[in-house]
């Protein structure tokens, strides 16, 4: 039986993963965290990760809105690491290690968000069609 990844990954790292919508966001976060003092443009990130510059900018803006990256406006928007606290920096460091060691597990967690508790509660009361074989 496979181990539950939620038991293997610290809660602060799981929370960090839960705040990501895509592998692109994950890789952007890890890239900028590796060089925290460097300022990046969307074009530089796109070149490094081999993705579309507009998609890179869109993903980085989402990460800025979530305060995982910092954005400096201007004509050529610059982005950089925004690990504001040692706890966030440590969680990103752990995420980097886990992504290097258990890439598939981390990617799976990015795409399998916990279900909405309200929806799960409502679904419990849905009327289900009775199987005609049950009589």
**Contact by Cβ (8 Å): 57, 77:** yes
**Contact by Cβ (8 Å): 110, 26:** yes
Map out the domains of the chain with their CATH numbers.
Answer: 5-134 (1.10.10.10)
Tell me the β-bridge partners of 40.
Answer: 79
Kindly give the confidence (pLDDT) of every residue in the chain, 135 residues in length, as a single tens digit, with 9 standing for 90 and above: 455 666 689 999 999 999 999 999 999 999 999 999 999 999 999 999 999 999 999 999 999 999 999 999 877 899 999 977 899 999 999 999 999 999 999 999 999 875 554 444 444 444 444 555 555
Whole-model pTM? 0.79
CA distances to 48, 64, 66, 101 from 87, rounded to whole Å, are: 27, 18, 16, 21
Supply the pLDDT for residue 105.
95
């Amino acid at each position: 039986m496979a181990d539950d990844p939620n038991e293997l990954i610290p809660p602060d790292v799981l929370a960090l993963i839960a705040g990501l919508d895509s592998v692109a966001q994950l890789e952007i976060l890890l890239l900028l965290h590796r060089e925290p003092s460097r300022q990046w443009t969307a074009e530089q990130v796109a070149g490094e990760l081999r993705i579309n510059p507009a998609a890179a900018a869109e993903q980085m803006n989402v990460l800025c809105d979530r305060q995982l990256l910092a954005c400096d406006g201007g004509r050529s928007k610059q982005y950089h690491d925004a690990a504001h606290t040692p706890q966030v920096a440590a969680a990103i460091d752990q995420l980097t290690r886990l992504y290097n060691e258990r890439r598939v597990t981390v990617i799976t967690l990015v795409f399998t968000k916990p279900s909405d508790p309200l929806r799960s509660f409502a679904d419990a009361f849905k009327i289900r069609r009775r199987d005609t074989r049950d009589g």
